[in-house]
Amino acid sequence: MNNGNSKRRLLVIDDEANMRHMLSTVLKKADYHVDTACDGSEGLQKIEATPYDFILCDIKMPTMGGMEFLKAAGERISAVTVIMMSAYGSIDTAIEAMKMGAYDYISKPFKTDEVYLTLKKAEERERLKKENRLLKERIQKIEGEYRFGKMVAKSKAMESLFRLAEKVAQYKTTVLILGESGTGKELVARAIHFKGERAKMPLVPVNCGGIPESLLESELFGHKKGAFTGADHNKKGLFQEAEGGTIFLDEIGELPLALQVKLLRVLQENEIRPVGDSKSTKIDVRVVAATAKNLAEEVQKGTFREDLFYRLNVLSIEIPPLRDRSEDIPLLSKHFIARFNEILGKTIPGIAQSVMSRLLTYHWPGNVRQLENSIERAMVLADDKEDLLPEHFALEPGAEAGAASYGSRFNGLSLKKAQKVVEKDLITRALKKTSGNRTHAARLLEISYPSLLSKIKAYEIAL
Structural domain boundaries in the chain: 8-137, 151-320, 323-458
Domain 151-320 = CATH 2.60.40.4070: no
The percent of residues above 90 in pLDDT, for the chain, comes to 51
Specify whether the CB–CB gap between 106 and 59 falls below 8 A.
no
- Please tell me the distance from the alpha carbon of residue 416 to that of residue 330, in angstroms, as a whole number: 9
**C-beta neighbour count of 116 within 10 angstroms:** 13
At residue 313, the 3 state secondary structure works out as coil
* pLDDT over 70 at 397, yes or no: no
8-137 matches 151-320 in fold: yes
Q: Go through the chain and tell me how many residues it has.
A: 463
pLDDT tens figures, 190-225: 999 999 999 999 999 999 988 888 889 999 999 988
pLDDT of residue 414: 62
DSSP string covering 40-91: HHHHHHHHHH---SEEEEESS-SSS-HHHHHHHHGGGGTTSEEEEEESS--H
Contact 273, 233 (CB under 8 A): no
Q: Name which CATH class applies to 323-458.
A: mainly alpha
pLDDT confidence bin for 377, thresholds 50/70/90: very high
> What are 230-289's pLDDT values in tens digits?
878 898 999 999 999 999 999 999 999 999 999 999 999 999 999 998 899 999 999 999
Question: In Å, what is the CA distance from 88 to each residue of 61, 68, 100, 107, 111?
Answer: 11, 16, 18, 8, 17
pTM: 0.58
Phi-psi category of residue 194: left, alpha or beta, with phi > 0 → left and psi -120 to 50 → alpha: alpha
The confidence score (pLDDT) of residue 402 equals 44
Give the pLDDT confidence score for residue 306 in this predicted structure: 96
Residue 447: which pLDDT band, with cuts at 50, 70 and 90?
confident
Give the pLDDT band of residue 5 (cuts 50, 70, 90).
very low
Whole-angstrom CA distances from 49 to 27, 54, 57, 64 are 21, 15, 17, 19
The CATH superfamily holding the domain 8-137 is: Response regulator (3.40.50.2300)
Q: For residue 167, what pLDDT band results from cuts at 50, 70 and 90?
A: very high
Q: In this predicted structure, what is the pLDDT of residue 213?
A: 85
